[in-house]
Structure 1
Amino acid sequence: MTAAESGETPQAAPTVVLLDYGAGNIRSAQRALEHVGADVTVTADPKLAVEADGLVVPGVGAFASCMEGLREVSAPRVIGQRLAGGRPVLGICVGFQVMFERGVEHGVDAEGMGEWPGVVDKLRAPVLPHMGWNTVDVAPGSTLFAGIDPAERFYFVHSYGVRSWEMEEDPYIAAPLVSWAEHGGERFVAAVENGPLWATQFHPEKSGEAGLALLRNWVGTLG
């Protein structure tokens, strides 16, 4: 029996803004989010980005150019406003990296969002870029990876990453959940869950069923 047949009001799909700031092809992320039940709008409109149930910050390319594009659409203000109100934000790839204090790429030292301390710099693995499928060492208690087999692999494509987690623990605030991955003997942060701010170095929208399960977990927290 459907909700309409039972007289129940169908539950509206969570609204998600996929932030469009010129950071590359984001249609695969849109399709993946819609597949897991989100009502997705691709826009740079700050008002819509603030008001949506969830905001996704994608990113492909250089750290500095992504930050420039984000500033042009008032993303630092929008993200700060959302996080201050406890409203979920999900960063993907460079959208993950820009949440840190700084990024050093091709000799350019660029300021990031500063939501987390730390520097994004070049991995020291013998083969770069790190491109392809890799497992993730998931933080205990993770909601983002809930129900996903630990042996599942996710799709990475990057040469830069965060090689250490520098945030000091606050006894009055729940500690962030930090998940890690390894490439060429180099360990780096693969995902962070920190209050309303979650982010992944890998591309869940390109990670098959495991990526869809992860996005479904995030969308399931919205409302």
Structure 2
Amino acid sequence: MSRVAIIDYQMGNLRSVQKGFERVGWHAEIVSDPRQIGPTDKLVLPGVGAFGDAIAELRRRDFVPVIQEAIAAGRPFLGICLGLQMLFDVGYEHGEHEGLGILRGKVLKFDLPHEFKVPHMGWNKGHIVRQAPILKDTAQDTHFYFVHSYYVVPEDPSVVAIETDYGHPFCAAVWRDNLFATQFHPEKSQADGLKLLKNFAEL
């Protein structure tokens, strides 16, 4: 039987993600050793913090092959916040850092007029571009909770599932086959975010 496995690489409040799944009736296990991940597990890659440090920790803990193999095998995968950003080729936070390269594109810092505070923090509405399975029963322009200074720029616009506007439109969620990822925090987005977690767990 499949379970939800939350990848622990010491970057982020994993317990809040775990509690989100528990609130919608799913057991989610925090996993700090890639050998603990089974061949049918659904994977969640959350994270807050610096792109370079996070990628280095994923590599040091040997999670990168597990992530790549799970996605290639068609198992449901959900990235959250920094877990979205690391899926791309390169991030420019305090230098240039190679990402996982699972999606083509880059991660850039907001460069906005002074009236827009960075980090972008708080509630903002998401415009659904493509109706991903995890967005089942999610209304157009639903509000989600964001905390980030960097945003992803996919090379392939067809992977964008949600756009949000903050100074300019940016990608707030992606979807490709079994791969889903959000810039916002579903675990902090009240009922609508929990619905997303439930949809993912039920895939």
TM-score by length of 1: 0.84
Which residues in structure 2 correspond to 1:55-204 (within 5 Å)?
A: 55-106=43-94, 108-126=95-113, 127-162=117-152, 164-167=153-156, 176-183=159-166, 185-204=167-186
Task: Specify the structure having the higher radius of gyration (Cα).
Answer: 1
What is the identity, as a one-letter code, of the residue corresponding to 2:11?
A
Question: Structure 2: where are the runs of 5+ without partners?
Answer: none
Displacement of 1:53: 2.5
Superimposed CA distance per residue, residues 153-201 of structure 1 (whole angstroms, 9 cap, x where no aligned partner): 1000001002x33128xxxxxx535321111x22211001111111000
What is the identity percentage for the equivalent residue pairs of Structure 1 and Structure 2?
Answer: 41
Name the residue aligned to 1:4.
none
Structure 1 gaps of 5+ residues are: 1-11, 169-174
In structure 1, C-alpha distance between the alignment counterparts of 2:143 and 2:77, rounded to whole Å: 23
Moved more, 79-88 or 44-53: 44-53
Change (3 A) 1:58 1:70: same
AA of the residue aligned to 1:188: F
Distance in 1 between the 2:17 and 2:156 partners? 29
Task: Tell me how many residue pairs correspond in the alignment.
Answer: 200
Q: Is the 8 A contact 2:146 2:185 kept in 1?
A: yes
Q: Determine the C-alpha separation between the residues in 1 that align with 2:188 and 2:169.
A: 22
Instruction: Specify the alignment match of 2:29 in structure 1.
Output: 41
Instruction: Report the Cα distance in structure 2 between the residues aligned to 1:198 and 1:78, rounded to whole angstroms.
Output: 16
How many angstroms apart in 2 are the aligned matches of 1:190 and 1:144? 14
Contact 1:154–1:207, Cα closer than 8 Å, also in 2: yes
TM-score, structure 2 as length reference: 0.92
